[in-house]
Chains A and B, each alone.
Chain A
């Protein structure tokens, strides 16, 4: 992760989707003298969410940043803003060496599906780095991109998940991410071995 300035914050914005939200948020940040170092946005069922890593030359109060972003909205519809200072890389929960896998589950929707699978994964110290769930025809489709500690035997995890899937009437597959990379992208391999989502939190600064 590269930060332009030394004081960085994570910002989260939630709103009903409409044009102009990113423009309003980024305008407020620029007015405060900040720089957007990374961002990711998605829209789900008409709702917008944005996560940004923003850095400033001077230390600012998180509530001040949130207030300025909220006031930047010109639509009158408003949005919810959460701002918190980033934590130093050494304060993240240390992760064991991991490999990237993808879990896919297909079946008839019912309450508790995401909970059952995510509780199982949490119990195995498996980190979900991306999660998608939606209806596809009569089925509910759940796709999770996972960081699985290397000490697990994948075939044991697969057996557990398939058994859980059977109980729920779901077809569940757990596969290494490289099969999806190799069959869809120009390169053969995905994330280099050992590089997890947290590994990218090493701080680098751009010096003008």
Chain B
């Protein structure tokens, strides 16, 4: 029999602190949809998604209701679209994207990820088609999300691809200038992209995965923050070790919610249960913020010295609790610091406490990278590429996933506030110091070789 205090503490976590399942992502292999004619390709793609995913939303809602936990976002991730676009051109790429967009609308998922190219060592013709189609794809579709892996622990950093992405990101921003460059929010540039990430915009179904799998991401910044505040209010003599322990326990409980829901959704859909992603994913809602956790840990101004140590402790404790809760941990599993999507981080950026360089340092110890960073519209493409290169270097050298989701806002300058709305929030355009000063480095191109895996000081 359950104990009353157990029931009450779970009720508090779910209903007072608004724990929810952020994303149930059905990953689907679509490599068998390749076809010599683009019409046939699109028809096969649509039929396969409808046959495997049409019940996703209904099942998520039913399972969520059974446990009293809302599943906020239902999503789809497919094999890298470059694999099915081999032999086709940019027109075909756009047609495939529009097919994905319409079938996503039809089955009620908010995003479909996997408009992806893996180019960490080199760019195939179909990868080039995918990358060059991105300005059209991301401006003419609503629900398609793209990712490009430009670096890996084994290959190093493909600087030609990084340079190309600098230009492409600017083109996407210009193609969606009427929405402040919002198209760039649907593109992530990765180092060491995970094959089983449930979070958008970077979700895709990677190599080595089964035919179909359910991957799940549970939110939890609000719950962790509340647990810390409650603990601090009860005991004035806490050490950081005690607070890390509290985060660990809370992470265990949050992860268990994901495991329970994920396994049941997968079983109902008749597909494999993939992973739970432990990541603390903030939303613009006040209180549901990783920045708020840092403040609770005693960093009065986010970005102040100590911020990196605090987020390192947070990320490590989240992993320790989550790994004990589930044997199926994967994806990104860290603490996201997307400036635009986290009200406290956006506020700190607006006040000048949080700058790009400090964010970059923080991403060396948490996931996932320079995420939802608004840049001045006149940032040169080489500087965007260099920002990406820096973030990729952190991932490659530290043997972890890092990413860049950079949004140059057309016509905006540092300090202007931009409002995207919904989960994407609002934030100030951040100052890019020394813009234009990395051009020669980027223009060298080629590949930064794979790093040493020993002598890691």
Count of chain A to chain B residue pairs whose CB atoms are closer than 8 Å in the complex: 69
Contact at A130–B62, with CB atoms within 8 Å? no
Contact at B257–A132, with CB atoms within 8 Å? no
Q: How far is the CB of B118 from chain A (nearest CB, A)?
A: 34
Contact at B68–A188, with CB atoms within 8 Å? no
Q: Assess A179 versus B4: contact at CB under 8 Å? Given A104-B11, A184-B9.
A: no
Chain A: interface residue total (CB-CB under 8 A):
27
Residues of B close to A179: CB separation below 8 A: 10, 14, 67-69, 257, 260
Q: CB within 8 Å of B: which of A72-119?
A: 102, 104
Contact at B10–A183, with CB atoms within 8 Å? yes
Contact at A183–B15, with CB atoms within 8 Å? no
Contact at B260–A177, with CB atoms within 8 Å? no
Kindly state whether residue B167 has any CB partner on chain A within 8 Å. Answer: no
Q: Report how far A177 CA is from B260 CA in the complex, Å.
A: 11
Q: How far is the CB of B3 from chain A (nearest CB, A)?
A: 8
Residues of A close to B256: CB separation below 8 A: 182-183, 188
Contact at A145–B260, with CB atoms within 8 Å? no
Most buried by B among A143, A184, A185: A184
Contact at B66–A175, with CB atoms within 8 Å? yes
Kindly state whether residue A158 has any CB partner on chain B within 8 Å. Answer: yes
Contact at B65–A155, with CB atoms within 8 Å? yes
Most buried by A among B6, B7, B11, B15: B7
Residues of B close to A185: CB separation below 8 A: 6
Taking CB as reference atom, which chain A residue is nearest B9? A184
Kindly state whether residue A4 has any CB partner on chain B within 8 Å. Answer: no
13 further A-B pairs in the complex, CB-CB below 8 A; given A180-B2, A184-B10: A102-B2, A154-B65, A154-B66, A174-B68, A176-B67, A176-B68, A179-B257, A180-B6, A180-B7, A182-B260, A183-B256, A185-B6, A188-B259
**11 pairs, CB–CB < 8 Å, chain A vs chain B:** A102-B2, A102-B7, A129-B1, A130-B2, A141-B8, A154-B65, A179-B260, A183-B6, A183-B257, A184-B10, A190-B2
Ordered nearest first, which 7 A-B pairs have the shortest CB separation?
A175-B68, A184-B6, A182-B256, A179-B67, A183-B253, A182-B260, A183-B10
* Partner-B contacts on A (CB < 8 A): 102, 104, 129-130, 132, 141, 143, 145, 154-155, 158, 171, 173-185, 188, 190
